[in-house]
Structure 1
Amino acid sequence: MSETTYIAPDEGLRVSGPEAGVLEIRLDRPAARNALSTPILRGIAALLDKAERDDEVRCVVLTGGDTVFAAGADLAEMAAKDMQAVLLEERPRLFAAIGRFPKPIVGAVCGYALGGGCELVMHADIIVAGESAQFGQPEINLGIIPGAGGTQRLTHAVGKSLAMKMVLAGEFISAREAQTAGLVAEVVADEACIARAHELARKIAGKAPLAVRLAKDAVLQSFETPLSAGMAMERRNFVILAGTDDRNEGVAAFLEKRKPVWKGR
């Protein structure tokens, strides 16, 4: 069991674990449909920073619960900011910190994931959606545009045409449409969504930690580099893993027909 104690740093968050290598971070502002205030983002970034340094945490589940993931940014907070305040706000730094988390994140989405909520869950490496899930970037209805990756991550995930429809018309897509487009990995019944996310997270947590970390790094690079540079980086990570104890253990365990014991080195 981890010696690190995880306490949600804001009343809009709940945290549990780590258990079997999995830490759960849950948005918990039901009265506001989990609207993403700056303190909530600050809390998520702080929890992930701690989890990065905790060897007992090997995967994170990020969820909003059984009825809503996050229906957008906190509009009351947004309305109080003029252009200078928006220019200087810390939200871009917090989203960037969440995006740099090197361990896998599994998102579990039921209900709305809109605006900042959609942008937040797109920081997850795998998204499991309940049947009720809806994804959208409706900022255009407020006379603004997405500002935390909704024009960029979304386009990488679903392609130009669908991203344009979501961003320009403000229309939502269903869980099944999101899966067809490649935004979502699986669609399950709402009541099974969080459990399935934990199942995947536990499976990932049971793999060799260094291999998981470098595999995530390699896949993410495919979005940010030309193919030739990405292939070179993939090969570099492959070579690095050849010098690890876990690689030797994995091969030996396979040949000896036993379960590997990972050491994370």
Structure 2
Amino acid sequence: MSAILSTQDIVVRFGVLQAVSQASIEVVEGRVTGLIGPNGAGKTTLFNVITGLQEPTAGKVFFDGKDITNKNPFKRARMGIARTFQKLEVFGSLSARENILVAAEQRKTWDRSGFDPNQVCDEILEKVGLSDVSEFMVGTLPTGTARLVELARALASNPKVLLLDEPSSGLNEEETEEMASLLRKLVEEGLGVLLVEHDMSFVMGTCQFIHVLDFGTIIATGTPAEVQANAQVQAAYLGTETVVEAS
């Protein structure tokens, strides 16, 4: 399978600190790809490079066959890259429906296909299971439901690739499984997903492919089973923790 999104030898330096070193990863449509590593490994920095929030010191970012290294975040979003953040980013004083509608209306600034934002909103609400709470203010909803609103809002831009930063953060066990189930459904429809996550059970049960980052360097890539069996990964990231078997 060819990659819809890839980085090539990305380097990011902050003064004398090299946060990312020669990092090359790939995201394929129809697959959940994980980016894991200990705190401070450079995961969020690499995410920021991919979305255009951080300029790389060296290296390139490619999307859909095009070099997008010098394109700003708005242009990347227009091309089909959407992102959620570790810290929940929603409009708490707006309803779930209004949150999604804001994104659908913004999409009209570049998408001239004549789509109906309200129809898009209804379809996404149903897809992510939010129809029953569509008129509730997001600030009154549980964290797990609010995270679904954030994800739904990202989907309203009609992305080809979705980047998720800690999607299970703050979720209970049931909500985490609901999130995993939704991601599986989205990739079955052809979406490419790249996620950063510390919940190893979630990663091993959801991702089909994983990149492991340690001190800014990719130290391993492969299936969950291959990554779990990698001694360098066990030493650098998993340590003495019990490793959840890949499903």
Task: Please say whether Structure 1 and Structure 2 have the same fold, judged by a TM-score greater than 0.5.
Answer: no
TM-score by length of 1: 0.29
TM-score by length of 2: 0.30
Q: Which has the greater radius of gyration?
A: 1
Please identify which structure carries the higher strand content. Answer: 2
Please identify which structure carries the higher helix content. Answer: 1
